[in-house]
Amino acid sequence: MTTPTPDGKPIPQFGSVKFKPLNTQTPCCADGQCSEPQPLTPPSDDARRFSWHVQGMDCAACARKVENAARQIPGVSQVQVVFATEKLLVDARVDVREQVEQAIRQSGYTLTDSHSPAPVASRPFTWRDNLPLIGLMVLMALSWGVAQINPPLGEIAFIATTLVGLWPVARQALRLIRSGNPFAIETLMSVAAIGALFIGATAEAAMVLLLFLIGERLEGWAANRARQGVSALIALKPETATRLNGDQRETVALSELRPGDVIEVAAGGRLPADGKLLSPFASFDESALTGESLPIERSQGDSVAAGATSVDRLVTLGVISEPGDSAIDRILRLIEEAEERRAPIERFIDRFSRIYTPAIMLFALLVAVLPPLLTGAPWLPWIYKGLTLLLIGCPCALVISTPAAITSGLAAAARRGALIKGGAALEQLGQIRQVAFDKTGTLTQGKPQVTGISVAPGLDENMLLRLAAAVEQGSTHPLALAIIERCKNQGITLPVATNQRTLAGIGIEATVEGETYLLSAPDKLPAAILDETTRITIQQQEAQGQTVVALVRDNQWLGTLALRDTLRPDAKEAVQRLQGLGIQGVILTGDNPRAAAAIASELGLEFRAGLLPADKVAHVNRLNQHAPLAMVGDGINDAPAMKEATIGIAMGSGTDVALETADAALTHNRLTELPGMIALARATHANIRQNIAIALGLKGLFLVTTLLGITGLWLAVLADTGATVLVTANALRLLSRK
């Protein structure tokens, strides 16, 4: 079923929820070359779309380099890289596949067919992959040792070490220059190392390359880990489905399913496509989509989303979604589009190098050449000054100023149980002024617990628990598990139950010690069973967001059990500390409004309830327009909103998709670490500003003194080395921050 948009394009729907097309415009800047924003749209009628998987991208800046390389090819009208899924999309009026593949290979990346299985997001540590970095570390240590014994020989050793480290970096820089990226970070590193060698700063040249290679390796690992979460969404759907053809059952691939097909899903199995329930009655765990902590009861004719799990029975459904357009597929597209909409996260040094590196090189050249040419001044003194300026321009302190602070901040956060995925996420975290919380599993424990017991006269609480748990024995329903768990905790021994049967739409019935008992929702019982006082009590409990079940024997009420997902012990303290930092909170949940209102009232927060993933994305968009927003969640259904927010934060107990999609995670599941993490991020951001001021301030000071002839090469070396030491020492202060 589709609904036309104002431009005539259909909007995919599931049930009553519409997934509106997102405005995915984003500035496409690639190493100083910018083009107009390009939306993530289908190709025009006169253009063809080609797609590939791209391997070797370590960061969003790499994605911009790939885009820029493909954009140079004649006939290409539009280029997009979706970094989250490593896809390159090229629109062209002619077949440009061969030219694109050649251009991307020349840029140092690998393309594979997008219709083949996606490449593995990450691989385990291997010595072969890290051999260049390990070799450079060994050579650096050997060079330092030789320099302590024989300085002249040590200089030669450092030169050899620099040349070994420079080879792969310079080769990549040349590739990028040929593909239209003349001032990438590889160019910056190559010029810095060669310049340092030219004026004799051999040890410093080698260290710059070593730090750069370490940073590249760590950044690639973090990017691969993040992409694993997006890929894991596909695992929510089984690879095959059981399709019914009359009395015959056949196993088919998901791509063969079409609307109108009848499929069968076993108990505990996931739905491969959106479907309409043909069985009379069934319970489904839809937490992957809605975050609802309890299974949802569905009747014949109700729609059920792909990715939902049949809780306790074999079910038959009619397929209602096209291949590639199920609820899970739409969540995946939301994540991709949210990733594309976000401004590209480029490293500070790469952006700065587009101006700083060519400017300082040109300035040093002019200082060395113009005075002798224009005034007849001696050449050697001005060449000496030019070389000194080139050393002052060496970005060693700048290279380490930001990563030193970031590394210290990330390490301090890790000690406190917070995993922050990279410097960009740390910087964004410090800008947060609002926090949106998912409810189930984030603010609450994520599973129901017995919170109240009412018994009829002549029956005690333990007896009621014993009988109710006996009736529920063998059930996998979360309410049943909560009742049985309560009995275990109290040491209650359960009797054997027989003749258990589920009464569709009513409850569960069983024979215990010769008597037949029914455990049911109160509103499913005949009106005469419950007296007015009991009904009022039940209504009050349900108004507080609790789920109530009643135990009945021979149409006689024996008692009720109230269950609810309870708050995490540290939730109140975390919210109060966030408010102390000037950060406002709101709850965005797929749970019912009564349950959400109960939790929100305890915490003093606003809430929005009954939200599907697309609804959460819409609310996050609106909130983000007012102030930077963090989205905190633990489920697959939270992943699109996490990507759409300024920063996504996952609970450590959350799903793999939430953990890998998020920019940060509370690994110890302590909500109180959230305000501490934000405070640390703010301190780190201030530290970065201080480090940049130190690095640039010292360079500016010695630039002036060099032109005036006050300082020479040895003081220039001291200035650069001193700045590196100062910014490192300043960054280390973050490790001792409480």
CA distance 698 to 703: 8
Report percent pLDDT > 90 for the chain.
Answer: 9
Residue of 570 and 364 predicted with greater confidence: 570
Structure confidence by residue, pLDDT tens digits, 26-77: 333 333 333 333 444 455 556 788 888 787 776 555 776 787 788 888 888 8
Rounded to two decimals, the pTM is 0.53
Q: How confident is the model at residue 186 (pLDDT cuts 50, 70, 90)?
A: confident
Instruction: Tell me how far CA of residue 110 lies from CA of 57, 117, 675, in angstroms.
Output: 9, 15, 41
pLDDT attached to residue 318: 93
Task: Summarize the confidence of residues 84-97 as an average pLDDT.
Answer: 80
CA distance 353 to 365: 17
Tell me which fold the domain 238-325 belongs to: 2.70.150
Structure confidence by residue, pLDDT tens digits, 672-690: 889 988 999 899 888 888 8
Element (H, E) at 424: helix 423-429
Task: Summarize the confidence of residues 696-702 as an average pLDDT.
Answer: 82
How crowded is residue 362: how many other Cβ atoms within 10 Å of its Cβ? 10
CA distance 602 to 524: 30
pLDDT attached to residue 394: 60
CA distance 290 to 282: 17
Lowest mean pLDDT among 89-103, 127-141, 192-206, 463-477: 192-206
Residue 127 confidence (pLDDT) above 50: yes
Sorted by where each begins, the domain ranges of the chain are 27-113, 238-325, 417-444+568-681, 445-567
Is 522 in contact with 530 (CB distance < 8 Å)? yes
Could you give the count of Cα atoms lying within 13 Å of 149 in the half-sphere of its Cβ?
A: 8
pLDDT attached to residue 40: 44
Residue 342 confidence (pLDDT) above 60: no
Structure confidence by residue, pLDDT tens digits, 225-252: 545 545 555 566 777 889 998 888 898 8
Element (H, E) at 170: helix 151-178
Structure confidence by residue, pLDDT tens digits, 595-620: 788 888 888 899 888 888 888 899 99
Tell me which fold the domain 445-567 belongs to: Calcium-transporting ATPase, cytoplasmic domain N (3.40.1110)
Structure confidence by residue, pLDDT tens digits, 632-661: 887 777 788 888 888 888 887 655 565 666
The sign of the dihedral angle between the CA atoms of 379, 380, 385, 387 is positive
pLDDT attached to residue 54: 83
Task: Summarize the confidence of residues 171-197 as an average pLDDT.
Answer: 72
CA distance 600 to 586: 8
Cα angle 288-293-296, degrees, rounded to a multiple of 5: 80
Structure confidence by residue, pLDDT tens digits, 408-428: 777 677 667 677 776 677 878
Mean of the per-residue pLDDT values for the chain?
76
Residue 393 confidence (pLDDT) above 50: yes
Residue 673 CA, chain-centre distance (Å), reads 18
Lowest mean pLDDT among 63-72, 141-150, 314-323: 63-72
pLDDT attached to residue 447: 77
Q: For 196-223, give the DSSP string.
A: HHHTT-HHHHHHHHHHHHHHHHHHHHHH
Tell how strand 10-14 and strand 309-310 pair up: unpaired
Element (H, E) at 89: strand 87-92
pLDDT attached to residue 433: 92
pLDDT attached to residue 434: 93
Length of the chain counted residue by residue: 738
438 is known as an active-site residue = yes
Architecture of domain 417-444+568-681: 3-Layer(aba) Sandwich (3.40)
pLDDT attached to residue 724: 67
Lowest mean pLDDT among 97-101, 423-427, 525-529, 539-543: 423-427
Tell me which fold the domain 27-113 belongs to: Alpha-Beta Plaits (3.30.70)
Structure confidence by residue, pLDDT tens digits, 272-291: 888 999 988 888 887 665 55
pLDDT attached to residue 689: 84
CA distance 529 to 551: 11
Is 304 in contact with 277 (CB distance < 8 Å)? yes
Whose tokens are 């109240």? That residue is: 452
pLDDT attached to residue 12: 32
Residue 729 CA, chain-centre distance (Å), reads 31
pLDDT attached to residue 199: 64
In the set 31, 329, 438, 591, the catalytic residue is 438
How crowded is residue 650: how many other Cβ atoms within 10 Å of its Cβ? 31
- Establish whether domains 238-325 and 445-567 are of one fold: no
Residue of 494 and 329 predicted with greater confidence: 494
Quickly count helices (H) and strands (E) in the chain: 22, 31
Residue 295 gets which letter from DSSP? P
Is 667 in contact with 410 (CB distance < 8 Å)? no
Beta strands in 626-685 (DSSP E): 629-633, 647-651, 664-666
